[in-house]
Amino acid sequence: MTCCPGAGIDSGQPGRLPEKVFAQWYSGTLRIPQGELLDYVHMGYGSTYDWDLLLEVQSGVVVSKSVRFNEVEASDDDDWLPF
């Protein structure tokens, strides 16, 4: 890999990456769920927690941080009840 020197099978330890790799190829938002679980979704990353730490990344560099507080809307559907 030309973008990540030292990463990959040629790094001296086949199948292992170094502890840190500069992710210059990534730009976007990283969502890091925090706090108590508010709503469990048994699929992917759809569960909702108290808040999300949002990191905006451009070419591997964090350019901004923000917090999004989440709420779960009340449901009239009784299917979620454990009995």
Contacts of 18 (CB under 8 A, 6+ apart): 6, 7, 11
The answer to whether position 49 is within a domain reads: yes
For residue 59, the enclosing domain spans 9-70
- Does the pLDDT at position 75 exceed 70? no
| pLDDT value, residue 82 | 66
pTM: 0.65
- 30-65 per-position pLDDT tens digit: 999 999 999 999 988 899 999 999 999 999 999 999
The answer to whether position 63 is within a domain reads: yes
The answer to whether position 60 is within a domain reads: yes
Work out the burial of residue 3: count CB atoms within 10 Å of its CB; fewer than 13 is exposed, 13-18 middle, 19 or more buried.
exposed
DSSP 15: T
